[in-house]
Structure 1
Amino acid sequence: MKRIFLFLATNVAILLVLSVTLRLLGIDSILDTQGVGLDMNSLLVFSAVLGFGGSLISLALSKFMAKRTMGVRLIDQPRNATENWLMETVRRQAQAAGIDMPEVGIFDTPEMNAFATGARRNNALVAVSSGLLNGMTRHEAEAVLGHEISHVANGDMVTLTLIQGVVNTFVIFLSRVIGHTIDRMVFKTERGHGPAFLITVIIAQLVLGILASMIVMWFSRHREFRADAGGAHLAGREAMIGALERLRQKHPGPLPEQMAAFGISGSLGHGLKRLFMTHPPLEERIAALRAQ
């Protein structure tokens, strides 16, 4: 969940900064046809460039942001038996999954936590917490690593980027249509765009961005089942189930934000809340593995 949260937060921030900057520079004015209406073709191209640009920048920064935010210490040379096991396990799983050896790191937190991120399958990062290494058996930790390697091998971050670029495009396009309409009909601006346009665009972009995020959340939930299956393939189904069961037993209630990083978020929502969950409940994921 952490990798998804960081990606989405970076994406939203980039879009807002770019939107305000382009407006202040007057670039938005090219979308206004002789002061009487929006040039829809130009607006769509503008939205796609800005939308995919923000998403691609977020992807490019994902590994750097994850390292800085989580305080990851990369393992260059293993310093003890645990680090040696970690490196060898990731190397073996990466080879089995058909990807290059990713960077491997550890971050210090008592919570059982892990994540994988990176712009390319062959230039990824896999990191685990000290709490996970101390709190799980080797078989369970191996399953968690297999889950993360599967995310990398499946290209989930790249696919997420493309989906985010599409929803960004429509958010930017519709927010400017709404801003233009309100600026003309409510504030009676006859030529160009007044201050109400920028304010309305920012508000509409935030609201539409929240709604669009439900699409990204659905994709994230769907991919977690596939990553679980990948972890089961690389480390064994019972090991993957055991890792999920241990997390459920240790945290019978809603799981903390820190734990959700490697795709385990527990039973965190019902009804409308479920639409904004990045990961399915543990019970559903365990049931899916048992049904295989």
Structure 2
Amino acid sequence: MSDRDFDIASYDPRDPDPWLALYLDNSLPIDPVAKTALLRGNRSWSRRWMFPVVRPAVFAFFLLVKLLRGISPHHPNLNGTLHRLIHWGLKVFCTPDANMLILRHFHIGTELLAFIKANAGPVEVETVPLRPRTLKDLEANVFLQHDLNVFNFIIQLNASLRAQGRDLVPVERVDFSMISDEPFDLAPLPDGPLNFADAQTAIEVYTPLYALMLPRADFIRASNSLQLDETVAIYIGKILGADYHMAFVKNGHPLVPLSTWQAGYRLMMHGLDCEAFHGWLRLLKRRQAQGLPLDPRNPIGA
């Protein structure tokens, strides 16, 4: 399936294609390559047929895992095996689009945290940059480290700000240097006869495995991290002195945690939120380079 599937020439007012409408819609500032990959996954037979078929089985398996974790919250702890299993499954069964979306998510998360740190003033924050180029790179504890990065960042950032008696504030000139304007450096991805699964189907299948193979505390932390999008958006808003990007957040504030039952769906929403944040910052970076006001809605102010 190619971008030609979203060609305006195929438009029929008597039978409008919903995916063409979303492809042409520009309400979210998402990278065009990522948006096209997401839409191709949404309209694939995997998402339309396999996803609803596997969901009941996944739910039943998830229920068994929850019962097991209630009895044994700390064991098994198979983090290394989990990451190898994820690598194998993505390599063998997922489409290049799905794998590209998953890999780029870690680059985006790294850049969003780096943006906040660079514009926060002097703070003591240490996280592990995640820049996987290949699916094999994911075996290096990338999924678990991603969750640790977010929570450690929030703890260290706010502890440092509190110790100094201050908060994040708008800066005179925002530093966008860490926001990539070029495509992320990803190696060619497998595209064999079995690479059919879209990103949402893969995530739905892997969610109970994540709960099974990690201690309960690690899984709950990972699930709760999906609601930190609003927290990160507030930090970005304080730095920019603007709140337009808050409209992108759909995961809810973490002070009211959601159930882990919908962790798979919320992980997709988390990815969408982060893509929108990154796309917005990329847009503002370009406007700054052109000498334009940062806020596209404000033709006068800077």
Task: Provide the TM-score with structure 1 as the length reference.
Answer: 0.25
Pick the structure with more helix per residue: 1
Which TM-score applies when normalising by structure 2? 0.25
